[in-house]
């Protein structure tokens, strides 16, 4: 093998290692970008939407309870009726956006679940609207309102019991879906850490191999070349001194093997003339 080929092979090995490292790094970065988009841009936004919906449903239940507490007080009843309707509209708007899924945050299975939630919310809303209609003409004030509150609060709670149960199932479903999304985020984070570790160890291994090859080039190639040159110099000096007794062998470097062959021919001719 020629000296040029040895150097070319060594540099080719370094180039291949570098190319492999670059390829793995690019692929890993692309994978990490996809994981980040899924975990942060999509999953966390979906969790935020679910948490906002859950918060609004909790407000809805609170206004419902306040309405029942003050069902005998015309002024306060009207206030909490307004708050309840506002919150109920916000819940419906959120569910509508989640069903449209324009940002593609949710799966088809999620959307089917949203449809069930929407039916439950609509049923609850119809039940509460029936209560509002039932007590709309109650306009008690002061002591009479206080006396009527306890009696009518129990009756109203009983009338909406089925709707409240369905709404409670929706709240549980939201909490469960949010917990699943959170667990999935943790899984993605673990996968990202594993990918980082792979990139790190590939980089370390590639760097170590590159250093080993570089050390080989620095020590082995020049050392072999210098040793071969010393051998040729020694043969040439012996021939010049008239010593033709030692055969001149090839040294394994093509460029110097040609020189060794020429010197050997000179030695043999000199022996023949003798």
Q: Are residues 33 and 158 in the same domain?
A: yes
Cα(61)–Cα(87) distance, integer angstroms: 9
CA-CA distance, 210 to 147, in Å (whole number)?
A: 89
Task: Give the mean pLDDT of the chain.
Answer: 79
Contacts of 256 (CB under 8 A, 6+ apart): 228, 229, 232
Q: Quick one: which H or E segment has residue 243?
A: none
Boundary of a domain, candidates 189, 207, 225: 207
pLDDT in tens, 177-190: 999 888 887 777 77
Which whole number is the average pLDDT over 180-205? Answer: 77
- The predicted pLDDT at position 141 comes to 45
pLDDT at 198: 77
Residue 142 scores a pLDDT above 60: no
Residues 135 and 237 in one domain: no
* Tokens found for residue 263: 């010197």
**Is 80 exceeded by the pLDDT of residue 171?**
yes
Do 11 and 145 sit in the same domain of this protein? yes
Nearest to 184 by CA among 33, 52, 43: 43
Q: What is the pLDDT of residue 51?
A: 93
pTM to 2 decimals?
0.61
DSSP 39: I
More confident residue, 26 or 35: 26
Domain boundary residue among 162, 186, 207? 207
Evaluate whether 251 touches 234 at the Cβ level (below 8 Å). no
Domain range enclosing 167: 3-207
pLDDT value for 6: 65
Q: Is the pLDDT of residue 238 over 50?
A: yes
Residues 142 and 67 placed together within one structural domain of the fold: yes
**Domain co-membership, 112 together with 213:** no
161 and 267 together in one domain: no
In this structure, are 202 and 254 located in the same domain? Answer: no
- For residues 63 and 143, membership in a common domain is answered with yes
pLDDT of residue 232: 76
Looking at the fold, whether 147 and 80 belong to one and the same domain comes out as yes
Band (pLDDT 50/70/90 cuts) for residue 10 is low
pLDDT the model gives residue 37: 59
139 with 266, same domain: the answer is no
Residue 209 has pLDDT above 70, yes or no: yes
Is the separation of the CB atoms in 95 and 117 below 8 Å?
Answer: yes
Determine the pLDDT at residue 4.
64
Q: Which residue has better confidence, 237 or 217? A: 237
Are both 221 and 111 inside the same structural domain? no
pLDDT tens-digit map of 76-128:
888 999 999 999 999 999 999 999 998 888 889 999 999 999 999 999 999 99
Which residue is listed with tokens 């051998």? 231
> Residues of the chain with pLDDT > 90: what percent?
27
Q: Domain count of the chain? A: 2
Query: Which has more confidence, 80 or 211?
Result: 80
Residue 262 or residue 32, greater confidence = 262
Tokens 């007080």 sit on residue:
73
- Name which residue leads in pLDDT, 114 or 161: 114
- Taking the C-alpha atoms of residue 226 and residue 222, their distance in angstroms, rounded to an integer, is 6
pLDDT digits (tens, 9 = 90+) for 35-67: 565 656 677 888 889 999 999 999 999 999 888
Same domain, 157 and 227: no
Q: What is the pLDDT averaged over residues 166-183?
A: 92
């Amino acid at each position: 093998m020629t000296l040029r080929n040895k150097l070319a092979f060594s540099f080719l090995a370094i180039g291949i290692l570098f190319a492999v490292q670059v390829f793995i790094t690019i692929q890993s970065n692309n994978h990490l970008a996809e994981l980040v988009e899924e975990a942060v841009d999509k999953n966390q936004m979906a969790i935020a939407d679910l948490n906002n919906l859950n918060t609004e449903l909790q407000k809805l239940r609170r206004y419902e309870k306040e309405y029942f507490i003050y069902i005998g007080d015309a002024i306060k009843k009207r206030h909490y009726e307004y708050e309840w309707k506002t919150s109920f509209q916000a819940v419906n708007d959120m569910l509508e956006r989640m069903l449209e899924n324009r940002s593609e945050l949710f799966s088809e299975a999620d959307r089917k679940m949203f449809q069930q939630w929407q039916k439950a919310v609509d049923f609850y809303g119809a039940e509460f609207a029936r209560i509002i209609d039932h007590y709309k003409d109650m306009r008690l004030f002061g002591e009479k309102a206080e006396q009527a509150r306890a009696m009518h609060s129990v009756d109203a709670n009983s009338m909406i019991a089925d709707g409240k149960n369905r709404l409670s199932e929706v709240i549980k479903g939201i909490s469960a879906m949010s917990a699943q999304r959170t667990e999935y985020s943790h899984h993605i984070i673990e996968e990202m850490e594993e990918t980082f570790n792979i990139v790190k160890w590939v980089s370390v291994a590639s760097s170590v191999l590159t250093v080993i090859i570089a050390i080989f080039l620095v020590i082995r190639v020049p050392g072999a070349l210098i040793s071969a040159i010393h051998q040729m110099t020694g043969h040439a000096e012996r021939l010049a001194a008239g010593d033709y007794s030692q055969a001149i062998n090839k040294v394994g470097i093509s460029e110097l093997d040609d020189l060794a062959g020429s010197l050997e021919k000179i030695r043999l001719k000199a022996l023949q003339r003798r």
